[in-house]
Structure 1
Amino acid sequence: MARTKTPNPETPEPKPASCEVCRGTGEVSRTVQVGRKRRTVGHQTGLCLNCLGSGEAPE
């Protein structure tokens, strides 16, 4: 006879809240502009200074 699985008595830990600035990715992007008329040429990503790249909301 097959054994029945018993539920795990441990409850899973709640996920930490994600950072509002980077939405949990740890990176933010800025628009890069060049020239005298400041035309947009692309985006540059960098470390989120609010959560320091962890993606979790600071306390």
Structure 2
Amino acid sequence: MVTRRSPARKPVAKRCPDCKGVGEITETVRVGPARKRRDTGDQQTALCLTCFGSGLAPTD
């Protein structure tokens, strides 16, 4: 009698810690000249630079 094994599972990729798996982060909009910048109450979305928008944690 031949016993069969189930195929090995692929490791589950971890979510990016900075964007929490979404691939985007929110940034505060800043206005004014370089020396006198101030934050506004507005937010904009930006691409997560840790995972480059994939949502997966970078590997070492």
Q: After TM superposition, which residue ranges in structure 1, 4 or more long, deviate above 6 angstroms?
A: none
CA distance in 2, matches of 1:55, 1:39: 27
Show the counterpart of 2:22.
25
Contact 1:19 1:51 in 2 (8 A): yes
| Aligned-partner Cα distance in 1 for 2:15–2:53 | 11
- Please list, as runs of the form range in 1=range in 2, the aligned pairs for 1:27-42 lying within 5 A after superposition: 27-34=24-31, 38-42=38-42
For structure 2, the 5+ residue unaligned runs are 1-5
TM-score, with length taken from structure 2:
0.64
- Give the helix-richer structure, 1 or 2: 2
TM-score between both structures, scaled by the size of structure 1: 0.65
Unmatched runs of 5 consecutive residues or more in structure 1 = 1-8
CA-based RMSD = 2.4
